[in-house]
Amino acid sequence: MNLRFRVGLSISLVGIACLAVMAYMLIDYKRRSIDQEIEAGTRVAIQLLQAIAPSPLELAQISDPMASLVDYMRNVGRVRANEVRIYDTNNQLIYESPPSDYKQGRWAPDWFSALVAPNTSEVRLPVPGGAILITPDSSRSVLDAWDELWQFALFVLAIIILLNIAVYQILGRTLKPLNDIVTALTEMERGNYDVRLQHYDLPEFNAISQTFNRMASSLQEALIDNARLAREEQQRLAAEKELEQNRRFTQLIQVKLEEERRAIARELHDELGQCITAIKTVGTTIANRSDSDNEETRRNARTIIEVASHIYDVVHSMIRQLRPSALDHLGLNDAIDELISQYQKQHPQLSIVLTTEDALNQYDENVNITVYRVVQESLTNVVKHADAANVEVSLSVQADKDEAQQVDRLKIVIRDDGKGLSEDFAETRRFGLAGIKERVQAFGGEVSYESIPAAGTTIRAELPVGQEGKKP
């Protein structure tokens, strides 16, 4: 049921209700009016008939008084809305009023007559020589009331029909924009967010049009933003996936590099170290032979011993660089302490202060070698580039507040008082810092640095270490 039909039905029902109320009021008015009219007509008829009835004096002079009365009534005809009948002394009907020719042959419906017709009774007037019977007849008045009510009902129904037609046409033209709105909403439901509504003369529909257009624009922009965010999210996830793959690949490379360094260190120690020891032993034997009087031979032998000793020291230094044996035998704390001692021995002008915690010895080989290499490469950078006199090395462990995750934050801080980094500094030109960053990021950690010209540089590294990174 559309809106126009419902509005038309509402108007029809209201009109019918008004018609019923007005019909009731009109019927009540007509009932009282007819009652008064019939009562007044009956009184007039009674007065007229009493006036024309012969008096006692006239009765003495007239031989047949009823004949003159009948003649008079025949000349008069009907008296208002009353039927007059004259009876003689024998109660024989000698006169009856002719039927009314007003709207002759038509009658109001019985149900309407029962509603409107007054309750009247006949009036009998005794006269000399007989009697006059007056019967009120309201049928013509009731018929007039019925005709008036019927005409009024037809008039009201015509108005209701014309009003419905006018309202239907007006609503059709007024609500025509609704078809455009429904069509636009259907297009939007299908995913066409380019649809827009036109300007309408009616303020209400124009407000709806402007609101719809703003909503469509907002939805279109939101969809574009969502698509862009989706692409960015996909790119971010792809970048994170690639970063995770790179981190694992870097970690695998670091593990393989350490394994190769360990193998090389072992080969240097087992093979080259033994050969150098043998050469040194042979040289010592030659130099100490008592039966040799050749001074040049002894001098050359001592040179061989010195060179072999130097090579041995270099090889052992290379072995420590490739694989610090203290990590395998003593733990991270002692390995870092030994590393710093070596740097101080090699660079006596450099003062290095180490701060550590006992908790550092609970981690496995991968964590230990990463921390060791970070400190080692940081100290190498200080020695090569910083021109520093003092270095502070701090290693600390901070337990994560979330006990369910059970992740420790291992923090490394190396601070020097050197010349700092230049303004055109680039990490790619400092392979030491790049190596530190790669090692730390391979564990999912972060690296940052601060530098003040002529005031030094501070490098901070933080590694998240879970249960898998601890010794069993």
Least confident interval from 19-33, 134-148, 286-300: 286-300
DSSP letter at 201 equals: S
Q: Residue 239: its pLDDT value, please?
A: 85
Structure tokens at 6: 């419902």
| pLDDT tens-digit series, residues 440-461 | 877 778 888 888 887 788 989 9
* Residue pointed to by tokens 């395998």: 328
378: how many CB neighbours lie within 10 A of its CB? 25
Q: Check if the beta carbon of residue 36 is closer than 8 Å to that of residue 30.
A: no
Q: C-alpha angle 6/10/14, rounded to 5°?
A: 170
Confidence bin at 418 (pLDDT 50/70/90): confident
DSSP secondary structure of 34-91: HHHHHHHHHHHHHHHHHHHSPPHHHHHH-S-HHHHHHHHHHHH--BTTEEEEEEETT-
Inform me whether the pLDDT recorded for 60 exceeds 70.
Answer: no
Confidence bin at 103 (pLDDT 50/70/90): confident
Average pLDDT over residues 149-174: 85
Inform me whether the pLDDT recorded for 177 exceeds 70.
Answer: yes
Q: Which residue has the higher pLDDT, 32 or 330?
A: 32
Q: Can you tell me whether residue 398 is helix, strand or coil?
A: strand
DSSP letter at 117 equals: S
Average pLDDT over residues 22-38: 85
DSSP strand pairing (82-88 vs 130-136): antiparallel
- Identify the structural domains of the chain with CATH numbers, from first to last: 3-99+111-174 (no CATH), 327-472 (3.30.565.10)
| pLDDT tens-digit series, residues 341-359 | 888 888 888 898 988 887 7
What is the spatial distance between Cα 89 and Cα 67, in angstroms, rounded to a whole number?
Answer: 13
Least confident interval from 95-104, 148-157, 158-167, 423-432: 423-432
Confidence bin at 52 (pLDDT 50/70/90): confident
Inform me whether the pLDDT recorded for 407 exceeds 80.
Answer: no
Average pLDDT over residues 78-92: 83
Inform me whether the pLDDT recorded for 59 exceeds 70.
Answer: no
Q: Give the residue from 339, 16, 7, 303 showing the smallest Cα distance to 153.
A: 16
Least confident interval from 74-88, 177-191, 362-376, 391-405: 391-405
Mean pLDDT score of the chain: 80
pTM (global) more than 0.75? no
Q: Residue 428: its pLDDT value, please?
A: 46
Q: Residue 403: its pLDDT value, please?
A: 56
Q: Residue 174: its pLDDT value, please?
A: 80
Q: Give the residue from 2, 22, 19, 1 showing the smallest Cα distance to 163.
A: 19
Q: Which residue has the higher pLDDT, 125 or 276?
A: 125
Q: Residue 401: its pLDDT value, please?
A: 59
Q: Compute φ and ψ for 409, nearest 5 degrees.
A: -110, 105
| pLDDT tens-digit series, residues 251-285 | 677 677 766 766 776 666 666 767 777 787 877 87
DSSP letter at 261 equals: H
For 280-387, where are the E strands, in sequence order?
351-355
| pLDDT tens-digit series, residues 458-472 | 989 988 887 765 766
| pLDDT tens-digit series, residues 292-327 | 567 777 777 778 878 878 787 777 667 666 666 666
Burial of 469 (0-12, 13-18, 19+ CB in 10 A): buried
Q: Residue 374: its pLDDT value, please?
A: 87
